[in-house]
Amino acid sequence: MKKILLLSAILLLSTSCKAQETTQISENKVIENSKPKLVIGIVVDQMRYDYLTRFYNKYSDGGFKRLMNNGYNLKNIHLNYSSTKTAVGHTSIYTGTTPDNHGVIANDWYDKNSKKMINCVGDDRYTSIGSPSKKGEKSPHRNQVSTIGDQLHLSQNMNGKVIGISIKDRGAILPAGHSANAAYWYDGNDIGSFISSSYYMSELPKWVRDFNKTKKVDEYLSKTWNTYYDISTYTESTSDDNNYEQKFTGKPTATFPYELPKLRAENGNYSLISETPFGNSLTLDFAIEAIKEENLGKSQFTDLLAVSFSSTDYIGHGFGVSSKEIEDAYIRLDKDLERFLLFLDTQVGKNNYTLFLTADHGATEVPNYLKDQSIPARYIDKKKLRKHIKNIATELYGTEKLIEHISNNTIYLNKKEIKKLKLNLAEVQQSIADDLIDYKDIYRTITAKTLQTTDFTEGFMSLVQNSYNQKISGDIVFVYTPSSITDYYKNKGGTTHGTGYNYNTHVPLLFYGNGIKKGESSIYHPITDIAPTISTILNIEFTSGNTGNVIEDVLK
């Protein structure tokens, strides 16, 4: 009897273990199958957060509103560094860390070794693919850490595809990462084609060559850019005819309509499309073709497509934050998003993709417009500022040779001259910084020595510190007064970005699709939280330099 009971217990235990094993296998399958087949990262270049709310009533139900209302809307996302430039933003989004770690400190910066300016993706070891120009001599080598795409490849034994697409080279290359299968960007002027670099391939795939042959860009440039809706309904923006905007060559006013066939010859030929909403439409056309021809989201492995819409940046620079041109650009981008989402639903499947949409930076209001509203704003005369900095060095140490270079709000000192004069580097840094703070257009100064020895955990200086890379950056960082930009824009009109003020750091972040809850939050999160959140959805290792945290609220 005892033997029978023992045997029954063993059988019961065995059955229970097998059941648990089966359940675990089943659960693992559920987890594995719950992974999206395609991750789409969308970066809208120069998109302030308030473009979501300001133009909300102009959007259709299928674009921005679909992402906001059926996905997860994070309303308090900020860039957690002060160098709010395109290259920095794209790199930080996809690496989950800031310039002090990934090493991309601007779009272009001064190289202390070669004593010249270098480009964030410039690399003459490689040649252009698809163009006779040098615009394909690029690679991601200046980014020092891995991206989401790199980690996705590593987790899948280098299977799956990772592709970056943008009008701008940096908008395609830096998000795609080091191990990307491809990155494509647009060569304008007299080329009018999407191109690549020999870093990725020896020739363009047939589908890319075929797309370029269609010359869709000519179709767009044969149009007249007029407002999508009646211009009288564009009540969210300033008057169309004002003194705050740049003008196209050959057109006396910055007003609708813009007859592109007449303007292209004097405005860069094929490059003109970048400065219209149709540049975003062309980018989307190419992205859709990439998904179809590369069969993205169709294999057993997860793919990643990084798309950056650049035309909003060109339009923002030229016309400003409150222009009717920028309003129309976002109304038209909303239509493109609707088209994209419907395509993804059909091509990939509604439950098979995960998408996020954010921006690389915002922008300041046009200073002349702010001044007319009695709001403090300034234009900085860069030539006078440079001269003033050199005069400081001369007054303190008898020579302006101590100033080797000035760019990106950073002063690089001449180390050889400092040694020659037997000066102390830290003391020279501090003395110049102390004098520079008295200049009318300068609001903050800080030295490399202070940034290396002080841990700023919050506030504006923490943003400056996150932008400072000990190996690459200079000796003294200075910050302009709020709502100030350089005098380049004073007479031309338009605006820019590049500081750590709220108008540059506050950007949208929308998650949508597989693995994403429906909801919204006003809790603060830095832009670097995107990468670890996507990595968690994919169940892969975080990027090598990751300093972000998972946004758990968005996850199902």
Residue by residue, pLDDT tens for the chain (556 residues) are 333 433 344 333 343 443 443 333 333 333 344 799 999 999 999 999 999 999 999 999 999 999 999 999 999 999 999 999 999 999 999 999 999 999 999 999 999 999 999 999 999 999 999 999 999 999 999 999 999 999 999 999 999 999 999 999 999 999 999 999 999 999 999 999 999 999 999 999 999 999 999 999 999 999 999 999 999 999 999 999 999 999 999 999 999 999 999 999 999 999 999 999 999 999 999 999 999 999 999 999 999 999 999 999 999 999 999 999 999 999 999 999 999 999 999 999 999 999 999 999 999 999 999 999 999 999 999 999 999 999 999 999 999 999 999 999 999 999 999 999 999 999 999 999 999 999 999 999 999 999 999 999 999 999 999 999 999 999 999 999 999 999 999 989 999 999 999 999 999 999 999 999 999 999 999 999 999 999 999 999 999 999 999 999 999 9
Top-level class of domain 378-481? alpha beta
Please state the CATH superfamily assignment of the domain spanning residues 36-371+496-554 in this structure.
Answer: Alkaline Phosphatase, subunit A (3.40.720.10)
pLDDT of residue 32: 41
Strand partners, 512: 355
C-alpha span between 151 and 22 (Å, rounded): 30
pLDDT of residue 61: 98
Q: How far apart are the first and last CA of the chain?
A: 51
Instruction: Delimit the domains of the chain by residue range.
Output: 36-371+496-554, 378-481
What is the Cα gyration radius of the chain? 26
**Two tokens, residue 534:** 């996507």
pLDDT of residue 245: 98
pLDDT of residue 23: 34
Confirm whether pTM is higher than 0.85: yes
Q: How does pLDDT run across 326-355, given as a tens digit for each residue?
A: 999 999 999 999 999 999 999 999 999 999
Strand partners, 307: 42, 165
Residues composing the chain: 556
Q: Would you call 20 exposed, middle or buried from its count of C-beta atoms within 10 A (0-12, 13-18, 19+)?
A: exposed
**Two tokens, residue 175:** 């998000």
pLDDT of residue 11: 37
pLDDT of residue 34: 78
C-alpha span between 556 and 521 (Å, rounded): 15
Give me the catalytic one of 84, 86, 495, 505.
Answer: 86
pLDDT of residue 2: 35
pLDDT of residue 104: 98
Q: Are 60 and 337 in contact (CB under 8 A)?
A: no
Residue 301: name the closest of 125, 181, 435, 127 by CA.
181
Query: Does 86 participate in catalysis according to the annotation?
Result: yes
